Every structure is written in structure tokens, then in C-alpha cells.
Structure 1
Amino acid sequence: MTALPAAPAAPAAAHRSLRRLHRPALLVWAGFLLVMVGWLLWLHLSKVPTERTCPGLHFDSEKYAADCGYSAFTDANNVFNFLGEALTYACVAVAAWAGAALVGRELESGTAKLAWTQSLSPARWLAGKLVAAALPLAAGGGLLALVFDLVWSSDKDWLVSNWTYDRVFIPRGPLLPALLLLGLAVGALAGIALQRTLPALGAAAAVTLVTRLYLREAWQQPRGPLHGFWTVHLLVTAMVLALAAAATVGAFCILRRRTR
């Protein structure tokens, strides 16, 4: 009786290759999370309390600068606004990476087709890439949103940014990870549609940027009949997730059509 053949090692090799591909991006993402979370906590635990008790706060600017070490680059409100803006546009960087490094480069070089013939089907190849990227993006985006909301909610009397501003509205809740997932989906769609690294990078970044800029128009519309941050925020989050789902389905449909 002949022994049953051993399970092919190709899928395991494919998973190892996937981990190697994601490792640099994961390290960059982890570094970004550490910097942003650390910066936000520094504002909340150190900078804002110090400025609250600064004896020169209500005096002339020269005395304030002398007593509090004030500068435009260390003022708590300025730093908070900068961090909020950076978080609102993080989705554009994710889209550029997904379009170029995650999908476009492998299709352009032929690495993806080699994987399809040896181990994985095209659909499983794309699904593995998206899941491996989506999990850390969603978890990290959720962590950033929690810390950002903690800082703004605790110090909003000192930080003059209103919740209707993009730099506060987007990073305070699930809209932030939803936008990151949208960038991932748009990047994958661009990479599969164009199959070239640089065009996919440019197209994914441009589409995500336009979507991000248009969001203000989207949440301006329901603000009249709807009241409160969370009602509007969750409505816009649902819209963004629907767009991300549509882009993901589009990516799988194009991939299926081209690999029949």
C-alpha cells in the first residue's frame, strides 16, 4: 500500500513570503503608532497640565515665553491640531502603499502569477494580503481613535478645536480605522486594475485623497436634522465602510476576470 502524499509545503512557503513582505510595513506602522500615541499622551499628561498652571499665561507674550517655554512648535493646541491633521491623511499613505508595494509591484514583476501556479489561487492570494494588512490597520486605527478621543474629551476646554473640524471629527472614533481600510481597499483595486507600481500608487493616493476631502461635504448634509457628534460620525463611518466593501468587491471581480 502506498503512503498518502504529504501535504504540499507551498502554502506554508507562501505564508512565509507574505510575512516577509509585510514585515517592513508592519514595523513602519508600529513606529507610527508609538510616535502618535506617545505624543498624544504627552500632551494629555504633561503639556496641557503645565500650560494650565503657567503663571505667565494671561500676561504678555514675552513673559509667557520666559515662564512657560512657549513656542509655536510646542504649544499644546498647535501640536494637537498637527497630530489630528496627520491622522486624517494617514489613509492616503495606506492607499499608496497598498497600490504599489502590496499589489502593484507583485503583479508588475510577475511574482503574483508564479504564486498562483505553485500554491495559491488568485482569490486566496488577494484575500491573504488584504486580511494580513487589514487586521493591524484596524487594530492600530482603533487604538489611535481611543487615545485621541481620550485626550480631546479630557482637555477640550483647553484645546480650542471644535468637534466639527476635520482634525477632530475624523480621528475621534471608528471613522479613522474605516478610512484606513478604505485606503487599503482602494490601493488593492488600483494595483489589480493597473498592474503597475507607480500608476497604482498615484491613482490609489489620488482617489483616497479626493474621498477624504469630500467627506466634509458628506457629513455637512445630515448635520441639520441630526444632532451630536456620534450620530453624524457613525453615519459617515458606515458610508466609508460601504465604499471600502465596494472597492474590495471590485478588486476581486477584476482579478477573477483577468485570471480566468
Structure 2
Amino acid sequence: MTAALTTPAGPTAARTAGAPRQWRWLARLHRPALIGGGALVLLTAAVLVWLGGPLTDASAAAWKVYNACGFTPRCSYDQSAILLYKDVYNYATFAVLTVPFLVAAWAGGALVGRETESGTARLAWTQGVSPAHWLASRLVLPAVLTVAATGLLAALHHWAWATGRDHIDTTKFWYDMATFTANGTVPVGLALAGLAAGALAGLVLRRALAAMAAATVTVGVLWAAVHAAMPYLWPSVTRVSGLQEGPLGRGLLVGEGVLTPEGRAEAPCVNGGLGGCRGSLADMGATAFYRDLHPVSHYWPLQLVATGILLTVAGLMTYAAFRVLRRTTGTAHG
């Protein structure tokens, strides 16, 4: 008499154990991408630490000597330290802002697009993994890694920028758009939107290269849209100054001009010298300059609202991906 073998209760047990198995499979399948992406993140993080530490110290010391020289014809200071800081800052900022595009390209081309194109996905669905669980396993763990990596780089970038802000004369203003974006939570929202866009494109197009291109373009469109909408995501403040003072107020600019008895009007000399256009201002009946802008206190409200919009878009694209998967596989439930 042979002993009865106990086996898991069919589909339920398969689904319960399916996610860890899928994650292990994903780690093996995408090992080169994980190693390459991890190395890129660690390298960028190391550069940002270098930027906020030794490079900031050397550049700040050079600027201190330069400013102490005044207008002396001969001034011995370490110009190479200033230029190196500037170059490394620009490259590091570019690296942080590139992460959402790399996530989108990987998600569309390799994570989902390649498996739908090659038929690997359908093979997995016949081996006890439901389509919904298959897609969820390809979104959950990558999303966690994306948030961790992008959040780390953005935090280090903000720290490196803040370290040199009061010591280096050429430090970017907080409202410089590249610095503004890389310093906050927007890259995290963009990266998650890129992950969702890649998954959706891979399911719809079923071609790795086409999905990679579509996801990357989607991130570019979202980035452009966020930049265009950013000044209007939070109520701005108005700074009014006299005609003799010229336009005053520094921050993320929304609009500027002059005040007249009829209301606001565009000024021909807001961005130029006042000497040549005082007559024009008098003819307009201008009484003061105005600027609508966001001060530094609006930085985090703008960041969080923009990130919230991006996360909403990412959620909608994720929902659309599951709907497409349900329609193409004919499954009513995960």
C-alpha cells in the first residue's frame, strides 16, 4: 500500500506561493538590468556625496578667496575647483532626471514588452499563475525598488545643493527648473508613471522596442506638462514695487507687468533698463510694477501637488493595464 501524497489545494495554493516565485524568476530574468541599474544608482549617489562634500568645500574656499580679491587685477584662486563643481553638479542633476526615462524604457522594453512579444507571459499563465498575479508581480517589486532608488538620489541631490547654497556664488536658484525637479519628489512620481506607462505599452503594443519608445515618450510628455503647469499648481503671491525701484521679488515667476488705472498691463521694460522707457510708462499711466511669483515657502506645496498628479496618472495607467490584460485574456478575476 503506497502512502498518499499531500499536495497543495490547487489554484489557491499556487496563487499564494505565486508572487514569491514570480519575484525570484524576475530577479533571475532581469539580473543584468538589476545589476546595471544598481551600479548606476550607487555611482550617482557616490558622485552626489562627493559633490556635497569635498567639491563643495573646495569650491566654497575658492569663491571666498575670489570675493576677497575685490577688483584687484591679479587674484590667485582655485578656478578649477569652481569649474569642476559646476560641471559635476550639472552632470549629477542630469543623471537624477534621467532615471524616470530609464525606468520607463526598461518597463516597456524588457519587463512587460519582451514577455508579451515572445509568448513567455502566456506560458506563465498556463502554469498556475493568473494573468492578474503575473502583472502584479511585475509592478509591485519594481515599484518598491524605483521609489527607493529615485527617492535616495533626489534626497542626496537636495542635500548636495543645500550644502553649497550659501557658500558658492554660482549655486543654482531653487526655482531653476532642473534643480527644482531633481531636489524633490517629482522624480519619484515621474519614475512610477514611467513604470506604469511601460507596463501599459507592453500589453497594448506587444512589441518590446515599440513599448520602450512609447513609454519613454510618455514620460517626456508628462515632464513637459508638469513643467508647464507647475507655476499654476498653487496660489501665487504678488509683489508690488514703485517705478523708481523697478520690478522686485525673486522666486518661481508666474507673471509680471505694470499696474495702471485700468488694471494690469504688459510693460515694455520689465526685463530691461528703465532709462529708455520711462516715457512709455508715463503714457500708459503706469503707477507701479507687479510680479506674481512663488516664494521659497511654496517649494514643497508645488512639489507635492505635482507629485500627487503624477501618482494619479500612474494609478490610472496601472488600472488601464489591468483592464487591457483582462480584455485580452478573457479573465474576469485575478
In the superposition, the TM-score normalised over structure 2's length comes to 0.70
Range with greater deviation from structure 2 (74-83 or 176-185):
74-83
Match of residue 4 from structure 1 = 6
Match of residue 192 from structure 1 = 203
Inter-partner Cα distance in structure 1 for 2:161 and 2:189: 20
Match of residue 80 from structure 1 = 89
* 1:252 equivalenced with 2:322 (yes/no): yes
> Cα distance 1:8–1:93, how it changes in 2: closer, same or farther (>3 A)?
closer
- The Cα offsets for residues 73-121 of structure 1, whole Å up to 9 and x where unpaired, read as x521232123213312321121111001000000000000000001211
Match of residue 37 from structure 1 = 45
Aligned-partner residue type, residue 41 of structure 2: L
Say how many residue pairs are matched: 257
Q: Which has the higher contact order (CA 8 A, sep 6+)?
A: 1
- The Cα offsets for residues 35-91 of structure 1, whole Å up to 9 and x where unpaired, read as 11111111111011112212763569xx88x8526178x521232123213312321
Bigger CA radius of gyration: 2
Percent identity over the alignment is 35
Q: How does 1:166-181 map onto structure 2 within 5 Å? A: 166-181=177-192
Q: How does 1:105-120 map onto structure 2 within 5 Å? A: 105-120=114-129
Inter-partner Cα distance in structure 2 for 1:216 and 1:104: 29
**Deviation at 1:167?**
1.6
* 1:136 equivalenced with 2:150 (yes/no): no
Inter-partner Cα distance in structure 2 for 1:69 and 1:156: 18
Q: Secondary structure at the match of 2:217?
A: helix
Q: How does 1:1-260 map onto structure 2 within 5 Å? A: 2-6=4-8, 11=18, 14-54=22-62, 57-58=66-67, 68=78, 70=80, 75-157=84-166, 158=168, 159-225=170-236, 227=294, 228-260=298-330
Aligned-partner residue type, residue 169 of structure 1: F
**Deviation at 1:13?**
5.2
Inter-partner Cα distance in structure 2 for 1:173 and 1:222: 15
Inter-partner Cα distance in structure 2 for 1:39 and 1:257: 46
Q: Secondary structure at the match of 1:163?
A: coil
> Cα distance 1:165–1:259, how it changes in 2: closer, same or farther (>3 A)?
same
**Deviation at 1:224?**
4.7
RMSD: 2.6
- The Cα offsets for residues 209-246 of structure 1, whole Å up to 9 and x where unpaired, read as 11112211121223553742011111101001001101
Work out whether residues 96 and 204 of structure 1, in 8 Å CA contact, stay in contact via their aligned partners in 2.
Answer: yes
> Cα distance 1:16–1:222, how it changes in 2: closer, same or farther (>3 A)?
closer
Work out whether residues 51 and 57 of structure 1, in 8 Å CA contact, stay in contact via their aligned partners in 2.
Answer: no
**Deviation at 1:150?**
1.2
Q: Secondary structure at the match of 2:126?
A: helix
Inter-partner Cα distance in structure 1 for 2:199 and 2:124: 17
Give 1 or 2: higher strand fraction: 2
> Cα distance 1:180–1:8, how it changes in 2: closer, same or farther (>3 A)?
closer
Aligned-partner residue type, residue 232 of structure 1: L
> Cα distance 1:206–1:127, how it changes in 2: closer, same or farther (>3 A)?
same
Structure 1: runs of 5 or more not aligned: none
Aligned-partner residue type, residue 29 of structure 1: G
Give 1 or 2: higher helix fraction: 1
> Cα distance 1:8–1:237, how it changes in 2: closer, same or farther (>3 A)?
closer
> Cα distance 1:192–1:170, how it changes in 2: closer, same or farther (>3 A)?
same
In the superposition, the TM-score normalised over structure 1's length comes to 0.89
